[in-house]
Structure 1
């Protein structure tokens, strides 16, 4: 039987704008709503939102008149004004909150505008997500009303001249609705703690006092927290402390590399639910058990566009070319990778968020995240995606019965040709040479381009095994500990320079 049966009154269903059958119509309605709200802003006036709204083909007119932006271009042209207190730039009113985000490759912080409209939209999506639990079968009903442990950034935000800045998870936790307060852990006091290690210690200290049914967060930091709880109280697994733990809501990074190690910490199976909550908005969530992908949010506060992720639309560095092919949701195909453009209720317009997605079910609008536009390896045409890497790591770790919670890959010149250098994190005993050969063989199996190039210009594969703590230490030295920070799967640029210094003991 279903977990619970909810028959919502029609008025509530309409208020929540629960999904209907036509994603194209939903998306055009969202676009009109965004354009109407922002038509009197500087951005709306420059790009003739009134004219777009009058067009019979509003989507195509929008694409014709409004250029594509990435963070650097939209910040330099528009968002920097909002930090100076200028109102009505890209969205009505003044921006009072900014999510600080460095992604997984940039060294300097990005200031992503957060508006009340965006937060309200996110909250509606969160409620919809909770309601989808009725689609899950044979899971413990009692766990629904237990505590929700949400481990994210500090809610103690930086106060600046006219605005606050901090981690999106911190901003969201700071604005937890009153009705959710009894369920929310670790509570306001611990959530405000800026020191990640101190926050972790406080959570471990309080753990036996809580009855947790849900844990929410990035897999690496959740796993670290659970390991510390098990170690502190000398128990076999986390269910000895939290017997009603039944759900892990995760996002931001593929869970597959973490799954084997994570399940060693459990006393019984739990349900994993994936979400796609970026600093720029709540984009997708898994809405049914055993789904292969996450359902895109098509009818709330984000307008989505899709750029085929290929050499016609992106250069060798992963930068988008001028005037790329851009598709709306009804024009996409299953099985192809697309870079995602979003327009949101916080004044992000045709914004290249940096993620690549693939439709697993077009009718249901279900996608998986396949990587980042900057996080892929194609030195000689091997077209190696993060999705390929994750699948190889998952398969090999299962075959060898080891846990590989972190890894990263570097492309480099080698004897007039090229090579890949893997750095694998595991605390299990493993033969590095066997690991290297197995990963290489699996990638040849799942990626034809990689197999071809391994016979020509991609001459060698190197692999080093490191303790997981080495990866965590590097993140600490980079100031990327806890919260939403993730270790980049492909190292390039400044991060690669710092990684090489770290391995030599020169980064302190």
Structure 2
């Protein structure tokens, strides 16, 4: 055992003990965060515009600050981009995390000296919880990789600008630098195909112990490794025993991953966003991710079923319930106030507070009033393929409102790794799960408004070709798994299997 792995275990026990301390006092912890945010927010232009000095309670806050998306805060962000100080948070941000918006073009999410450490600490603690639970830190002696965007940063009026994953790359602890792959030069390659080929070249001779990234892009990396060697991942990297991921529900990809790896491995799910590191999986024995209550974020929640109402219910942590689909709202030490990041979550535990990401509030299908959400299509697909040899690489769902003949239907675009023996049978099983989960969908089927869903087989590599065609190939880009329009579906018609 190396000194590094030897000392990692007591360090992990200490860190997890500190986390459990605030997790046992969730409402007190959130109240402290709330009071700190308001006291600091008083000094900002936003705070003055919204009368923060008169805010004493959460009820006061709700009366003064409405729920915002990026467009709602954009006038303030534009002032920061132009060089103004003390706008949303004291001073200036140290970074802008650049993300793409559907209506806003490029979005510049501020990261401050107060918020940046919470990203690093949460990622570190996720690993430490794993070490503490397993009582094994041997993986720290091997090589680790995170498939991420380029760490090359631009400058925007004196503030560094880049993708979150590229910014975080500058904060790898010194004791892990020798273990970190790929090389800095390779990480800076912008073209994703070229980058993955170079990563394969650099990692093949190494003892990889930890691999991390969005599943669809890690899958591409695994496939290139297997193509080059003819061996499963478990033979290429015998000491690779756990995979870290975030950004999507992993269940539909799990069978495919285990077939590529050639053995079962542990998984750690993370919930990082440019706006804040929200949650991470703290145990291998329970579902959900531990909500980060002590990371400079005060959380609010709105039932997704009410979100588009004129006066939706808006609550703090103490009033949430199990099994309800909520839109998550953030207030942060980066100066985001009443900020809707667009995600929906569901609580899997209230002691401690654990969540799972259930979808995107804008990613749903309700062309006929069915209100289908992400977690429903993901569960339906998983229900249908579980216990079979069918594996999938990627999928997305869209409504077909004006078919050439017959009733309208939901159209499922699926790229199979192992195809089902009977495509119609698979469609029936998926449809049965959808009807069991969603009463509105069932009523539409029974009422002959919709007919059973239709599966379109996307050719091998078709989703990657689609992402290239829209300029979003690689890095942290991911395809929505459902949408209420035909924008994606119509383009995917060009990538179907003949």
| TM-score (norm. length: structure 2) | 0.91
Between the aligned partners of 1:137 and 1:340, the Cα distance in structure 2 is: 31
Contact between 1:200 and 1:225, CA under 8 Å: does it hold in 2?
Answer: yes
Match of residue 207, structure 1, among 190, 195, 203: 203
Q: CA deviation at 1:498?
A: 5.4
Between the aligned partners of 1:271 and 1:106, the Cα distance in structure 2 is: 38
Contact between 1:155 and 1:193, CA under 8 Å: does it hold in 2?
Answer: no
Equivalent residue for 1:317?
A: none
* Structure 1 residues 292 and 48: CA distance shift in structure 2, 3 A: same
- Secondary structure at the aligned position of 1:109 is classed as strand
1:238-249 paired onto structure 2 within 5 Å: 238-249=233-244
Between the aligned partners of 1:9 and 1:487, the Cα distance in structure 2 is: 38
Between the aligned partners of 1:174 and 1:503, the Cα distance in structure 2 is: 41
Tell me, yes or no, if structure 1 residue 123 matches structure 2 residue 114: no
Q: CA deviation at 1:147?
A: 1.9
Moved more, 62-71 or 280-289: 62-71
Between the aligned partners of 1:204 and 1:134, the Cα distance in structure 2 is: 27
Match of residue 344, structure 1, among 326, 332, 341: 332
Equivalent residue for 1:231?
A: 227
Equivalent residue for 1:32?
A: 35
Between the aligned partners of 2:324 and 2:33, the Cα distance in structure 1 is: 25
Between the aligned partners of 1:412 and 1:128, the Cα distance in structure 2 is: 45
- Secondary structure at the aligned position of 2:138 is classed as helix
| TM-score (norm. length: structure 1) | 0.89
Between the aligned partners of 1:377 and 1:167, the Cα distance in structure 2 is: 29
Contact between 1:147 and 1:214, CA under 8 Å: does it hold in 2?
Answer: yes
Equivalent residue for 1:218?
A: 214
* Structure 1 residues 399 and 241: CA distance shift in structure 2, 3 A: closer
Contact between 2:213 and 2:245, CA under 8 Å: does it hold in 1?
Answer: yes
Aligned length: 485
Match of residue 484, structure 1, among 469, 473, 476: 476
Between the aligned partners of 2:80 and 2:20, the Cα distance in structure 1 is: 31
Equivalent residue for 1:113?
A: 110
Equivalent residue for 2:303?
A: 308
- Secondary structure at the aligned position of 1:358 is classed as strand
Q: CA deviation at 1:499?
A: 4.3
Equivalent residue for 2:3?
A: none
Between the aligned partners of 2:368 and 2:341, the Cα distance in structure 1 is: 26
Tell me, yes or no, if structure 1 residue 47 matches structure 2 residue 44: no
Q: CA deviation at 1:94?
A: 2.0
Match of residue 387, structure 1, among 368, 375, 384: 375
1:443-482 paired onto structure 2 within 5 Å: 443-456=434-447, 457-482=449-474
1:77-156 paired onto structure 2 within 5 Å: 77-102=75-100, 108-137=105-134, 141-156=137-152
- Secondary structure at the aligned position of 2:10 is classed as coil
Between the aligned partners of 1:356 and 1:79, the Cα distance in structure 2 is: 24
1:67-86 paired onto structure 2 within 5 Å: 67-75=66-74, 77-86=75-84
Contact between 1:432 and 1:465, CA under 8 Å: does it hold in 2?
Answer: no
Equivalent residue for 1:318?
A: none
Give 5+ residue unaligned stretches, structure 1.
315-320
Between the aligned partners of 2:146 and 2:103, the Cα distance in structure 1 is: 26
Contact between 2:12 and 2:132, CA under 8 Å: does it hold in 1?
Answer: no
Equivalent residue for 1:409?
A: 397
Q: CA deviation at 1:502?
A: 5.1
1:281-296 paired onto structure 2 within 5 Å: 281-296=276-291
Give 5+ residue unaligned stretches, structure 2.
1-5
Equivalent residue for 2:163?
A: 167
Contact between 2:93 and 2:113, CA under 8 Å: does it hold in 1?
Answer: no
Between the aligned partners of 2:286 and 2:16, the Cα distance in structure 1 is: 23
